[in-house]
Amino acid sequence: MTAIAVTIAGSDSSGGAGIQADLKTFGALGVYGASVITALTAQNTQGVTAIHDVPADFIAAQIDAVFNDLDIGAVKIGMLSQVPAIKAVAAGLTRHDAENIVLDPVMVATSGDRLLAVVAIAVLCRDLIPRALVVTPNLHEAAALTDLPLARSEAEMEAQARNILALGPRSVLIKGGHGDSAESVDLLVDAKQVIRLVAPRIKTRNTHGTGCTLSSAIAAGLAKGLELTAAAREAKTYVTAAIKAADKLTVGHGHGPLNHFHAYWR
């Protein structure tokens, strides 16, 4: 049976993040990708210049079209900039009994541009986070979700992950990519254990779409039937290799994209 995952996220017109990064990741990892577009962005490697939100009823129509026909093995959720979009997605996932939900709480782009309205954070925490198999915040997003200072140690990362666990998801993967140590350490935390996912920190400015790529890679693993820990390990390995190969691409003048097809492009 064909492994299928759906990404519910915003479009990145420059192709490095959002829906485009997710579909590239699905394809690179052997998974058929479907999509539900929640917002259109005018952006490139240097920043976001405009956001056009997709109406909530059309988001719902896309969800119904996908789930009524395709056998969805996993769901990746990314950019949901406004309250109506969050409510439409939550209702749609409930309507179709969606499973294996990977929620990336996208708040700010790599360029620093805000992608989630402040008033929408509480609704995200109430309506969507409790449905997730795993929530994948970076250090800045974890701090925003917990109303705490930026974590500076693994102990603080774990504490913030446990605060997010209290909102109802089954697990939290808190990403250390924005840290400054020699290693990039992510922590996969659930009620029973903490698993360290470690990779060397790679010096490059080309990190546009890293968070989108990691969460969609986890969803790809789940769609293929992996359990969460194995999917997270596979995703970490894939993203690390895509970052390592990012400088082989020459795309834009700012924070360039990862090399999603590093295993295939020579």
Catalytic residue of the set 207, 213, 240, 256: 207
The residue annotated as part of the active site, out of 92, 211, 221, 256, is 211
Q: What is the DSSP string of the chain?
A: ---EEEEEEEEETTSSSHHHHHHHHHHHTT-EEEEEEEEEEEEETTEEEEEEEPPHHHHHHHHHHHHHHS---EEEE----SHHHHHHHHHHHHHTT--SEEE----B-TTS-B-S-GGGHHHIIIIIGGG-SEE--BHHHHHHHHT-PPP-SHHHHHHHHHHHHTTS-S-EEEB-TTS-SSEEEEEEE-SS-EEEEEEEPP--S--BTHHHHHHHHHHHHHHTT--HHHHHHHHHHHHHHHHHTGGG----SSSPBP-TTTTT--
The one catalytic residue among 175, 176, 177, 221: 175
The active-site residue, picked from 16, 33, 179, 209, is 209
209 is catalytic: yes
Residue 59, number of CB atoms within 10 A of its CB? 25
Annotated active-site residue in 210, 236, 240, 256: 210
Contact 9, 22 (CB under 8 A): yes
Cα→Cα distances 171→162, 192, 196, Å: 9, 10, 13
| Active site annotation includes 110 | no
- Give the largest Cα separation in the chain, rounded: 46
Q: Tell me whether residue 49 is one of the annotated catalytic residues.
A: no
Q: Which of 212, 221, 236, 240 is catalytic?
A: 212
212 is catalytic: yes
Catalytic residues: 175, 207, 209-212
